[in-house]
Amino acid sequence: MSVTVRGKPSKGTMLEAGPMDSAVRIGREFVVPGHGHATAAETAPLKPSGIIKFQAPEIVFGPESLAEAGFAARRIGAQRPFVVADPGIIAAGWADELSQHLADADLPATFWSGLTPNPKDFEIAEGYQRYRELGCDVIIAIGGGSCLDAAKGIAILTGNGGQILDYAGVDRVTRPIPPLLMIPSTAGTGADVSQFCIITDTASKVKVTIMGRALVPEISVTDPRLLSTMPADLAAATGLDALTHGIEAYVSCAHNPLADGHALSAVRLVFGNLPRIVDRDATGDLRDHMAQASLEAGMDGPRPHRGAARRGAGPLAVLACRRAGGLGRPGVARGAAGYRSHGRVGLMERPGRPGG
């Protein structure tokens, strides 16, 4: 994995979380320094128990990093990029800015926005047909999780044919897909760095998961400025999504030391910054922190054994579109925190209030 950081964070290349009024304990430690103390034994690094596989794209992160999109697309071989963008991103002006950056790199782009929240199977088929008609070669997505999932679905059909629902499950995408460049506009889904793609089966009215290493994008460009046009309710829902990704990764039976640091950092950053983002007190630093939280939560490994939180969110998603992913999971995440079987963590608890 290669990482490019634009801007000048306050300390090193990782951003510091803001303060919070109360700490939450997850496993060995409280998530905010200074609220409670852990013993040396509790905070000792875990030893890897075997081979760890950790796959992530090239990452370009920081304010104004959208300007790198043209160069990034060139690096993965783009000549005729196909850009998937949701209508909100177009209305906010981000698609126009992206188009200009691509033009600066001599890349005339075609934009497609024929998708809705929780992208549908027929929408993926329509996007694929458009991509094929235009003879494009690289897929760029700018938007929220639904937009990024739609781009992955189009890529799957381009390289493998058939119907998108044929690939539901794990590692069923067996042939190469077009290179992917992902530009997230929300802070929480993690689709820009993950190996997941969620598509709605319109016949059965359920969302299906497609998972596999082939779906990890080549490049992720995270520009925190894009969060400035996100509505408060969407900021809350996607922020909770990032929080739950971090919790789930940390308590998973398949956790590993490489992912644990990212998971805990994501939790700290969400707790320290999300409330003020939702209250519209969104300074540049707060957006930077939430963008980092989303990135780290998405990079926390393959995320197995997360069924409880996702099943809890599923029914709500039927009513509230993709936003329910964040809204539905925390309610069951605490119960899932006791799932790990080898004694590393029990229930999440507040200091002095076990199980609270």
pLDDT digits (tens, 9 = 90+) for 285-305: 899 999 999 999 998 654 544
Q: Residue 266 has what pLDDT?
A: 95
CA 229 to the chain's CA centroid: 18
| Nearest CA among 167, 215, 168 for reference residue 193 | 215
Range name among 25-29, 175-179, 211-215 with the lowest pLDDT average: 25-29
Share of the chain above pLDDT 90, in %: 58
Q: Which of 214-218, 316-320, 338-342 ranks highest by mean pLDDT?
A: 214-218
Q: If you ran DSSP here, which 8-state letter would residue 75 be given?
A: H
Share of the chain above pLDDT 70, in %: 69
Which residue's structure tokens are 């549908």? 120
- The three-state (H, E, C) secondary structure of 127-184, written as one string: HHHHHHHHCCCEEEEEECHHHHHHHHHHHHHHHHCCCHHHHCEECCCCCCCCCEEEEE
Q: If you ran DSSP here, which 8-state letter would residue 331 be given?
A: H
Assign domain 58-227 one CATH number from 3.40.50.1970, 3.90.1150.10, 3.40.250.10, 3.40.50.970: 3.40.50.1970
Q: Residue 268 has what pLDDT?
A: 95
| Nearest CA among 168, 191, 167 for reference residue 180 | 191
Q: Evaluate if residue 316 carries a pLDDT over 70.
A: no
Q: Residue 205 has what pLDDT?
A: 95
Q: Evaluate if residue 322 carries a pLDDT over 80.
A: no
Range name among 153-162, 255-264, 335-344 with the lowest pLDDT average: 335-344
List C-alpha distances in Å: 63 to 41, 68, 136, 218, 221.
Answer: 39, 11, 29, 20, 10
Give the pLDDT mean for 210-217: 95
Query: Higher model confidence: residue 36 or residue 159?
Result: 159
If pLDDT is split at 50, 70 and 90, which confidence band does 252 have? confident
Spatial distance between the Cα atoms of 282 and 57, rounded to a whole number of angstroms: 28
If pLDDT is split at 50, 70 and 90, which confidence band does 225 have? very high
Q: Residue 43 has what pLDDT?
A: 52
- The domain spans of the chain are 58-227, 231-343
Q: Are 191 and 233 in contact (CB under 8 A)?
A: no
Strands of the 3-5 sheet, one edge to the other: 3-5, 58-61, 219-222, 180-184, 138-143, 81-85, 110-112
Q: Residue 338 has what pLDDT?
A: 39
133: which residues sit within 8 A by CB, 6+ positions away?
none
Q: Please, what is the average pLDDT of the chain?
A: 79
Give the pLDDT mean for 36-40: 47
Q: If you ran DSSP here, which 8-state letter would residue 328 be given?
A: H
Give the pLDDT mean for 175-197: 95
Spatial distance between the Cα atoms of 66 and 6, rounded to a whole number of angstroms: 10
Q: Are 50 and 62 in contact (CB under 8 A)?
A: no
Angle at the Cα of 77 from the Cα atoms of 67 and 210, rounded to 5 degrees:
90
**Residue 349: how many other CB atoms lie within 10 Å:** 16
If pLDDT is split at 50, 70 and 90, which confidence band does 271 have? very high
Q: Residue 288 has what pLDDT?
A: 94
Q: Which residues of 98-135 are buried (b: 16+ CB within 10 A; e: fewer)?
A: bbebbeebebebebbbebebbbbbebbeebbebbeeee
Range name among 70-84, 126-140, 237-251, 276-290 with the lowest pLDDT average: 276-290
Strands 29-30, 25-26: pairing kind: antiparallel
Q: Which H or E element spans position 58?
A: strand 58-61
Query: Higher model confidence: residue 205 or residue 327?
Result: 205
Say whether 73 sits in a helix, a strand or coil. helix
**Residue 11: how many other CB atoms lie within 10 Å:** 7
245: which residues sit within 8 A by CB, 6+ positions away?
188, 190, 263, 266, 297, 298, 300, 303
Range name among 141-155, 269-283, 288-302, 316-330 with the lowest pLDDT average: 316-330
| Nearest CA among 3, 286, 240 for reference residue 145 | 240
Range name among 99-108, 170-179, 321-330 with the lowest pLDDT average: 321-330
Q: Residue 277 has what pLDDT?
A: 84
Tokens of 14: 């990782």
Give the pLDDT mean for 122-136: 97
